[in-house]
Structure 1
Amino acid sequence: MKKTLVSALATALVVGAASTTFAAANPFSDVPRDHWAYDAVTQLAADGVVEGYGDGTYRGDRNITRYEMAQMTAKAMAKGDMSASDRALVDRLAAEFADELNNLGVRVSNLEKHADMVKWNGKLEYTYTSERPEGTRENKNEYVFRLEPTAEVNDHWTVHARLDAEGNSMKDDTNSTVGLKRAWAQGDYDKFQVKLGKMELLSSEAYAAPGAIVLDADFSGAEVTFGKDLQATLQAGRFNLDGTYNSKVFDLDAELQKDGDSYDRGKTANYQHIGLQYNKNNFVAGLGYYRLGSEAFKDITKNGKEKMNIWAANLGYHFDKNSFLSGAYANNSSIDSSDGGSKWKKSYQVSFDYKGAESEDKGSWGAYVAYRHLGLASVYATQDGALFGSKGVEIGTNYTLWKNVILSAKYFKGKTLEKNDEGKDRVSKLFGRVEFLF
């Protein structure tokens, strides 16, 4: 593989240098001006793609190594003004020298950041659930096709989005609905991060496998995070209450309908949060305060107030890289604790996690066991297993069947926090999912 053929031709085409005459000065004594590759070589040198040797020569007749070609390919990947055909050639070179590029590590990663201004990730997932309150059963088969584009704005700012096409019933073969679920701008700086728009709202205890006990949803507003090992987070915005507290105990839809014109305003809450989270030396610990305001809360709070104040704490310890023990507790101080209300005002979980499936690692797997209690401190908790208004044991496992194909299964068995009209309180749930990531 001669350097004149691979570097001066292939890479010259990549940067659009092969068909243009350049005025750059000759950097190499052994490439005369009348050489057929002169224009390409001088422009490649001006662009920093080739450097030559310390004695001022190019040595174009020397066999090139794969590592040297990978270095030039990496530099070509960093150019952002290529035509579609040139970009296709870069992609072929990158595929050919993938191993060498990977060995270049961070240097190539930084170059690739600018090589493709818009990147797409996504997945297709199928989910089966079977909720089984004592004496009844509700089965669902659902699918989601998700696209998650990321676009670079400048060295600090990126724009993110999430689009979901959801099918609520595979059994009935109903048409899917497509919606923009999230869209936010993100600024990453040395000591802080800023997010603006509609984004993920995930309470900090969600690092454990069972998920969050306070919030696992989205909100529209702003978020600022400071620090590294000890992080402080500030959030403020608006939060849609659809689906929250939707149980046989509290039917918010019915309550809001009584107020007529205030229905729409009551369905969306003002939201603020401040939190501290520490993660270093095998320890995880955090404190958080969540405040929500809406007319929807008047009938379930003390003295008919429209505010909810939730305090939360979490603690965890990594015994090694595979084993993790954690606990989380949240208390809704706005809920009346009299007449049995104390069991509703709190939420908590204790979990032991072992390993975890990695999408890139075929055959990797994980499992967990947890005890969960989801009361009114759970505004919108993760409910793949345990349901809102219930308590009991949840177990789960996941497995990477093939690269980027993950299987998950969960089972919950417990009791509802209050008995139904027939005096029954037992409940269970089955959950299964397959995800195809791309």
Structure 2
Amino acid sequence: MDMDCDFAGFQLDYGKKDFKTFLTVGKMDLWDNVMGGTREDEEITSLRFFYPFDKKNDVNFGVSWSSAMQSRYQDPDQGRVFYYYGHAHHRFDKNWDLRAGLIASNAKRDPSNPVASTKSKHPGRWLQLLYKGEDLQRPGSYGIKLTYRYEPALSWPTVTDWCDLNDKFVRLAFSYVPAKNILLDTFYSWEREIDTGDRDDMYRFQAQFFF
């Protein structure tokens, strides 16, 4: 359950270091009204599990119930959409990491939007290869990421990681720490709309200062 926006509610976690369960209940701003929908807040109930097999392998999996979003071509009369997902992480050594995941939902298409009937309803998926990784306490450290994302609107609960609606992309990203608690990062995405094939490449650069 990714909470990178305004959230009001509570989260409970249970379990020891080698297996944890997280229950999240509340309201979250998933930008439905900004993207063309009507809801300002999304009702969220999520149950997530985390299990590390060892120091090099771990998995996250769970389910989530979230308010249907018109901006994602979902039928607002459905009430809540049921999502289920799994995510695996493998560390080859101190420099290389690999992540992969899959997500799907039971979202119904919005009958009031003729475009909704043309949108694919396939599972979303992602694959990411990471080399090294920045450390804010270590000037000169850096990270390089190569990511593939396939985000069909009907199967993905929000707009994530600077990806447009109903898009797929390959992204190359670079991050660097020039001084302690300063992070520079940039990426370029070769991005396409899943169902129309329209090109929507994206470039971004930002500097972050941590205090």
* Interval containing the TM-score (normalised by the shorter chain): 0.7 to 0.9
Letter in 1 for 2:158: Y
Q: 2:107 aligns with which of 312, 317, 334?
A: 334
Q: 2:130 aligns with which of 327, 343, 353?
A: 353
Contact 1:220–1:237, Cα closer than 8 Å, also in 2: yes
Tell me by how many angstroms 1:242 deviates.
Answer: 2.6
Matched, 1:403 2:176: no
Q: Tell me what 1:236 maps to.
A: 25
- Within 5 Å, give how 1:286-365 maps onto structure 2: 286-293=60-67, 300-301=74-75, 304-336=77-109, 340-341=118-119, 343-365=120-142
In 1: Cα distance, 2:55 partner to 2:137 partner: 26
Pair 1:298–1:401, CA change in 2 (3 A): closer
Matched, 1:223 2:11: yes
Q: Tell me what 1:388 maps to.
A: 165
Pair 1:364–1:418, CA change in 2 (3 A): same
Contact 1:244–1:379, Cα closer than 8 Å, also in 2: no
In 2: Cα distance, 1:325 partner to 1:332 partner: 25
Pair 1:406–1:241, CA change in 2 (3 A): closer
Pair 1:388–1:335, CA change in 2 (3 A): same
Q: 1:430 aligns with which of 187, 203, 207?
A: 203
- Within 5 Å, give how 1:79-98 maps onto structure 2: none
Contact 1:245–1:379, Cα closer than 8 Å, also in 2: no
Q: 1:271 aligns with which of 26, 41, 44?
A: 44
Q: Where do 5+ consecutive residues of structure 1 fail to align?
A: 1-200, 203-214, 257-265
RMSD: 2.6
Q: Larger C-alpha radius of gyration, 1 or 2? A: 1
Contact 1:407–1:434, Cα closer than 8 Å, also in 2: yes
Tell me by how many angstroms 1:345 deviates.
Answer: 4.9
Tell me by how many angstroms 1:301 deviates.
Answer: 3.3
In 1: Cα distance, 2:133 partner to 2:33 partner: 29
Aligned residues: 202
Q: Tell me what 2:112 maps to.
A: none
Pair 1:408–1:379, CA change in 2 (3 A): same
Pair 1:297–1:411, CA change in 2 (3 A): closer
Contact 1:395–1:412, Cα closer than 8 Å, also in 2: yes
Contact 1:318–1:324, Cα closer than 8 Å, also in 2: yes
Letter in 2 for 1:329: L
Tell me by how many angstroms 1:222 deviates.
Answer: 0.9
Q: Which has the higher strand share?
A: 2
In 2: Cα distance, 1:413 partner to 1:299 partner: 23
Q: Tell me what 1:143 maps to.
A: none
Letter in 2 for 1:290: S
Tell me by how many angstroms 1:217 deviates.
Answer: 2.7
Q: Tell me what 2:149 maps to.
A: 372
Contact 2:19–2:51, Cα closer than 8 Å, also in 1: yes
Letter in 2 for 1:238: K
Pair 1:330–1:372, CA change in 2 (3 A): same
In 2: Cα distance, 1:367 partner to 1:425 partner: 27
Pair 1:370–1:295, CA change in 2 (3 A): closer
Q: Deviations over 1:396-426 (max 9, x none)?
A: 011111222221011101211233xxxx601
In 1: Cα distance, 2:160 partner to 2:132 partner: 20
In 1: Cα distance, 2:34 partner to 2:126 partner: 18
3-state SS of 2:135 partner: coil
Tell me by how many angstroms 1:383 deviates.
Answer: 2.2
So what's the TM-score if we normalise by structure 1?
0.42
In 2: Cα distance, 1:245 partner to 1:347 partner: 22
Tell me by how many angstroms 1:351 deviates.
Answer: 0.6
In 1: Cα distance, 2:205 partner to 2:139 partner: 19
Q: Deviations over 1:98-133 (max 9, x none)?
A: xxxxxxxxxxxxxxxxxxxxxxxxxxxxxxxxxxxx
Pair 1:406–1:289, CA change in 2 (3 A): same
Contact 2:68–2:107, Cα closer than 8 Å, also in 1: no
- Within 5 Å, give how 1:157-306 maps onto structure 2: 202=2, 216-227=4-15, 228-243=17-32, 246=35, 251-252=36-37, 256=38, 266-279=39-52, 280-293=54-67, 300-301=74-75, 304-306=77-79
Tell me by how many angstroms 1:356 deviates.
Answer: 0.8
Pair 1:310–1:269, CA change in 2 (3 A): same
In 2: Cα distance, 1:345 partner to 1:413 partner: 20
